[in-house]
Amino acid sequence: MLKLPEVRSPLPPPPSLLPFFLSRTHRSSWFSLFADDIPSDILKQMISCHTATCEFLRQFWSAILPTPPGNVLNASTPAEKSAKAAKMVQYLSGTGAKMDGVVAAAVARGADGEKVKIVS
């Protein structure tokens, strides 16, 4: 039996409430609270960054966690899973810079940068 090489994640494990917080209804209502204070194009950039980050996290955790028994359709080798996890960590490490760009764009448009950071 092949053993998956240990990959240390700089990210915390996903919380059990993750599906609730990532649900479209919850996200939409959360962002709609700030729709008047944040320009719509900035809000769209925030949502896009959030969505991409969630997808990278989903793919990261699917690469880290063991493949469920009997799942032959998505059976990846340990080397493939390790490479995918490393690639997702690389993508996720750029999230801060992307959000800094969104905050800078929001400030340039006259929005409150601190509010954009908190909402994001």
List, for residues 102-113, the tens digit of each pLDDT value: 999 999 998 888
CA atoms lying within 13 Å on the CB side of residue 86: 9
Tokens representing 84?
A: 């995918």
Residue among 43, 86, 36 at smallest CA distance from 64: 86
Q: Specify the pLDDT at position 53.
A: 93
Q: Specify the pLDDT at position 39.
A: 85
Q: Specify the pLDDT at position 91.
A: 93
Average pLDDT over residues 34-54: 84
Average pLDDT over residues 67-81: 77
For the cut 70, the answer to whether the pLDDT of residue 28 exceeds it is no
Number of Cβ atoms within 10 Å of the Cβ of 81: 20
Q: Is 63 exposed, middle or buried (0-12, 13-18, 19+ CB in 10 A)?
A: buried
- The answer to whether the CB of 61 falls within 8 A of the CB of 14 is yes
pLDDT band at 117 (very low <50, low <70, confident <90, very high): confident
Write down the domain spans for the chain.
22-66+76-119
pLDDT band at 7 (very low <50, low <70, confident <90, very high): low
